[in-house]
Chain A
């Protein structure tokens, strides 16, 4: 509970409409898109400007109140759940697209801007901001920056950190920090811009960002390759890349995922296929043509029983939209969908898929897998029921073993969803005790009182490592 005088101070900053503490409002901000995590905040404050953010931070700093920044709560690692109470800082109202600078090919925006809206605005001018997380119609760019969001185009175009070149942030004590800008080159000191991207709201509150843009590709070509089984699809992925073709998108869906996605989208996906690859190439017409022909023949050689080319832009868009709905569509099957984000070097994709299947059997849990195959970034998703504690325990064990298997293949515990709270216990597995120590040092230099998104990234204790069969 916040003291009445603190609430008065906060209300004075943002106005009564935007400082919420009714039981219903607190409940509405007690979760994000991560299952099994929920905790009430003490207040929800939704500022309308960077100045208001700075004023709120000063109040919180003075009274030592935790701050949990939040865009629209589509986080998948419990990163925006106020697990230690405090103030949920809603940034969705600070959402202006401030500038599209066509000469410098940059854009400058506020954190609450929805990702898809930026896409529309820049693409209307023939420009391109590639990061496109599955949640792009709801996710905010502030959230994308905090998590270093990836998406379906990561293979060819990289992720959020490859585009953000300037930031303005409010620090824990309310000071403003401005780093980077519109320069294509800038090595003035440590690269704090990149440090902020992926910092999960633990270093400061981003209030403005500048991203570089690239020219919008002339055209694109989208195709589906259908397989009887997972491994043929996974082998095709490795071979496409080994053939020096980098598609814009190279996505993978297993049979269960195909079925639920078709159930929702009704676009004629082949529900009989064991696995499918959704492949998009973009660029000049001749390149698209050449690459899609080569990709089709590779897939056929690896056992694809059919390849289909999307006939028009509408069909292309429908396919991509359907893929983006995959995670949510899986929720049709069971009450609880626990999603992970293990990533391996792409050469090991087929092996990782097999490991996931083995582990699912071992713990008798129901795992569907889809994801950004070209990036080695898989999203094994466990369909379960949170009311069954014993089942949830098996799910946890299965995911622990999946992390371990990914690490063994030179992979990582999270490719694009962030550590948040749900994977904090595994971070040390990935970066070691020295890594933890250095990261904690960085955190302390920004936020000595641990007020910014406490409990995220760093765990109280590291999970005991499981032993994986070789």
Chain B
């Protein structure tokens, strides 16, 4: 099989080149050249498929795509751009493999439940043993992973301790009248870096009437693998998670990371061609709900008063893949005492785009700079996010703009948990 066979010809031909996607594409808006647009990239993939270009001719153009999928929302023809992009990246990864440390991390750290747990401890040790201070002083992170990784490292919040992690409850009972039994998907970066946010999500769900369980054996959603062209690893993650969740007889599988949720909801499509898994995957995806989505369905818990001005940055995959925009905003607006201001261009990517901020630091910076201007103009003191990479990116943006003392970046679940505590307290 030649590499070009990896493209779905029907999906390529479905693009009729009207260009409606151009104005929705953050990279086209910045670079103003066609090869940085969805239509252009599809034309390039088609040219490879037809043998008119080499895969490596187009690799830099695909690398520069955020994968935000804003183009899919505005595409009247319904082109499955995300699928084509992942096919392209998988083909590229075969002829231009990812560097070995990256492959190692994807396979053994993010790619196994044990690796994720170890990484959580590792992050705590790194911060506690003074390694972080040393690394920062020597600029080690930038030397290893480039300026993008260094900036992300700067944005890391304090990690949860192994003691806290060890005491995590597998089952949290509903705190009000029980409405549903849900399984919580903890994720990889979510659980390593934003352990508290996961715990807050569970607390809010319990307050809203959910029995929340954390099924053992679950791992990373596989989005990070698929985006990097590691297709086989992505499939392995999907299968592991389906197996981990399908036994419990849960009403819903809930998570609070927009990007992971997008991937989970697409397991059905990802495994559609695999007879052994297609049905199980479809069933799993149908049960998946975003944190804000399930609260909108079941009804939010009674919220307590919070002061301050809040604004909200969409997660691209919550918006463009899961098509969830109204629910998080409605929850924020429902907090007594809080003022909500809409962020201009909230629907545009913040520049994090999974690992894009690390691999394409320059493009990511330009996008973030524009984003921060809008944030400052809202006058908000809290930027609310719903996805771990966006969370880190916005912290980085606030730090870089010298606004860390004025503007907080919080996940929706953290804000709602604060609101609940204010009621109790």
Interface residues of A (CB under 8 A from B): 20, 22-25, 27-33, 35, 44, 46, 72-74, 90, 92-93, 114, 135, 137-138, 261, 263-265, 325-332, 335-337, 385-386
Are A24 and B33 within 8 A (Cβ)? no
Residue from A72, A263, A385 within 8 A of B22 (CB atoms): A72
B20 within 8 A of A: yes
From B13, B14, B20, B76, residue with most partner A Cβ within 10 Å: B76
Interface residues of B (CB under 8 A from A): 10, 13-20, 22-23, 32-35, 37, 39-40, 43-44, 47, 52-54, 57-58, 60-61, 75-78
Residue from B35, B39, B78 within 8 A of A264 (CB atoms): B78
Write 10 A-B pairs (CB below 8 A) sorted by A numbering: A23-B57, A28-B34, A31-B43, A33-B19, A72-B22, A137-B20, A138-B19, A328-B20, A335-B14, A386-B13
Given A29-B34, A138-B22, A337-B16, do A329 and B53 touch, yes or no (CB 8 Å)? Answer: no
Contacts of A326 in B (CB 8 A): 76
Are B57 and A93 within 8 A (Cβ)? no
**Measured CA separation A44–B19 after assembly (Å):** 18
Contacts of B61 in A (CB 8 A): 24, 28
Nearest CB on A from B21, distance (A): 8
Are B17 and A332 within 8 A (Cβ)? no
Are A74 and B18 within 8 A (Cβ)? yes
Number of A-B contacts (CB under 8 A): 107
Q: Which residue of B lies closest to A387 (CB)?
A: B13
Are A27 and B53 within 8 A (Cβ)? yes
**Measured CA separation A386–B60 after assembly (Å):** 29
Contacts of B58 in A (CB 8 A): 24
Given A28-B43, A329-B76, do A90 and B18 touch, yes or no (CB 8 Å)? Answer: no
Nearest CB on B from A84, distance (A): 18
Contacts of A30 in B (CB 8 A): 43
Are A328 and B76 within 8 A (Cβ)? yes
Are B19 and A331 within 8 A (Cβ)? no
Nearest CB on A from B54, distance (A): 8
**Measured CA separation A114–B37 after assembly (Å):** 16
Are B13 and A336 within 8 A (Cβ)? yes
**Measured CA separation A35–B47 after assembly (Å):** 15
Nearest CB on A from B16, distance (A): 4
Contacts of B76 in A (CB 8 A): 261, 264-265, 325-329, 331-332
Contacts of A325 in B (CB 8 A): 20, 76
Contacts of B23 in A (CB 8 A): 114, 137-138
Listed from nearest, the 6 A-B pairs whose CB atoms lie closest are A328-B76, A331-B77, A335-B13, A325-B76, A331-B16, A28-B35
Contacts of B60 in A (CB 8 A): 24
Contacts of B52 in A (CB 8 A): 27
Are A24 and B19 within 8 A (Cβ)? no
Contacts of B44 in A (CB 8 A): 24, 27-28
Contacts of A93 in B (CB 8 A): 32
Residue from A33, A114, A330, A335 within 8 A of B17 (CB atoms): A33
Are B47 and A27 within 8 A (Cβ)? yes
Contacts of A22 in B (CB 8 A): 57
Q: Which residue of B lies closest to A261 (CB)?
A: B76
Nearest CB on B from A418, distance (A): 16
Are B75 and A46 within 8 A (Cβ)? no
A31-B43, A74-B19, A138-B18 known; 9 new pairs, CB 8 Å cut-off, are A24-B53, A28-B43, A138-B23, A261-B76, A328-B20, A329-B76, A332-B76, A335-B10, A386-B13
**Measured CA separation A92–B25 after assembly (Å):** 15
Contacts of A25 in B (CB 8 A): 33-35
Contacts of A92 in B (CB 8 A): 32
Are B53 and A135 within 8 A (Cβ)? no
Contacts of B34 in A (CB 8 A): 25, 28-29, 73, 90
Are A328 and B53 within 8 A (Cβ)? no
